[in-house]
Amino acid sequence: MKPAAKRKGSSLFVRRNKDAIMACVILLVILVLFASNQNDFFSRYGPQSIFNQVITLAVAALAQTVVVLTGGIDLSVGSMIGLTNSIAATIMDPVSSAVGNETVGILLTNLIVLAIGGLAGLINGAIIVYGRLQPIVVTLATASIYGGIALYIRPTPGGKVPMSYTEFLTGRVFTYIPVSAVVLAVIIGLVWMPLRRSRLGQSIYAIGGNEYSAFVSGIPVERTKLWAYTLSGLFAAVAALLLTAQTASGDPLGSSLFTLNSIAAVVLGGTPLAGGKGGYAGAVAGAAILSLVLGLLIFWGVPSFYQNAVQGVILILALTVGLLQKLWRRAPLTTSS
């Protein structure tokens, strides 16, 4: 496996991400349209605004991807983001003043929030694995529970977030590079790619491919699933921390859209809900399409209530084109749904 991967690394990358090609083409079109409409696209503000629009949904889509790869689905992504977002906005200021140093306080808050996100994900995984229940209904139930806890912590949107935190995470480093791009690069380069090459990563894909085969091949199905859901919770917490920086407040219910949008982004990126195939490239591309198309409509002065329809149509068209591609490549599908 390893040497083969080294010998033709590029083709492996292409093979692994061929389902994401459709999404990348659409994204390219959207970016070209963006460039022709936004005057400061090629200035230092262009990439910054684009990455800030995309980053939260992209990370939320990664949270969804980990679980979808195992063949599951996480309907609590939005609630976990809402919960961790509410907690972050609520405790950041008190923690900072308790520690006496704003930077240390922010870091500590981030760690606490990440731990809570991971725990929420782990609870999802534990109920699904040890309860032997379907992911879709379990996460539907925990979504309600996490949403309730978020509402308990922050009955109304608000909270206090230090200016420096917002300025840092939505700003730029080295004049040109948006911090959100750095964050995304770190998540993909330092978390996702090592994970993909690790035993855990291979197990996640194997389970999604065929759970029973994975089981009889000696892959620890239960532990892998626990990790997948925990990672999903962690990524959701990262998305929440970025959201906290962008909105400078905590909103217990406002994040519920992330659940369905993250699923849409994952599928738009070519990752099938059946699991076992796909990865970060599709998820990020899908999230970028869904976020940027809104910006494009605003440029063109399209009334905001057409946005939902445009997103829905893009989703259906992308999947239809993907199907036609498959039909063209090989014999017609004989299996019927």
Partner 1 sequence: MKTEMIEPSSAPSGFGAVHAIRKSAILKTYLTMISLYIVSGILQPHFFSTDHVIQLLVLASFLGVLAIGQTLVILTGGLDLSLAYVLNLGAVIMTQVTVQHGGGVALVAMLAVGLLVGLLNGLGVAYLNISPIIMTLAMSSILKSVTYVYSNGNPKGNAPGWLRYMGTESFLGIRIALWFWVVLAAAVILLLAKTTFGRKIYAIGTNARVSYLSGIQNKRMIVMVYMLSALFAVLAGMMSVGFYGLSYLGMGDTYLLPTIAAVVIGGTSIIGGRGGYVGTIAGTVIIYVLLSILTVLNINDAGRQIIYGLVILIVLFLYGRGKKVRG
Q: Which is nearer to partner 1, 122 or 188 (CB)?
A: 122
Does residue 126 interact with partner 1 by CB under 8 A?
Answer: no
Counting contacts by CB under 8 A, is residue 206 touching partner 1? no
Pattern 52-91, partner 1, x by CB under 8 A? ---------------------x------------------
How far apart (Å, rounded) are the C-alpha atoms in residues 89 and 258? 18
On whether the CB atoms of residues 58 and 317 are closer than 8 A, the answer is no
9 touches partner 1 by CB under 8 A: no
d(C-alpha 164, C-alpha 314), whole Å? 38
Cβ pair 117, 233 in contact under 8 A: yes
Q: Is 335 one of the binding residues for partner 1 (CB under 8 A)? A: yes
Q: Does the protein bind partner 1 through residue 313 (CB under 8 A)?
A: yes
Q: Which is nearer to partner 1, 104 or 216 (CB)?
A: 216
- The residue range among 42-50, 57-65, 150-158, 171-179 that interacts with partner 1, by the rule CB under 8 A, is 150-158
**Closest approach of Cβ 336 to partner 1, in Å?**
4
DSSP 158: B
List alpha helices for the chain, DSSP H. Answer: 2-7, 9-16, 21-37, 45-69, 77-99, 102-131, 135-153, 163-170, 179-186, 193-197, 199-209, 211-216, 221-247, 257-268, 280-299, 307-329
Other beta carbons within 10 Å of 333: 10
Contact 67, 73 (CB under 8 A): yes
Q: How many residues form the binding site for partner 1 (CB under 8 A)?
A: 52
Minimum CB separation of residue 173 from partner 1 in Å reads: 36
Task: State the binding string over 243-272 for partner 1 (x if CB under 8 A, else -).
Answer: -----------------x--xx--x----x
Instruction: Give me 289's structure tokens.
Output: 């399409």
**Least distance between partner 1 and beta carbon 24 (Å):** 19
Residues that bind partner 1 (CB under 8 A): 73, 127, 131-134, 136-138, 140-145, 147-152, 155, 211-212, 215-216, 221, 260, 263-264, 267, 272-274, 305-313, 315-316, 319-320, 323, 333, 335-337
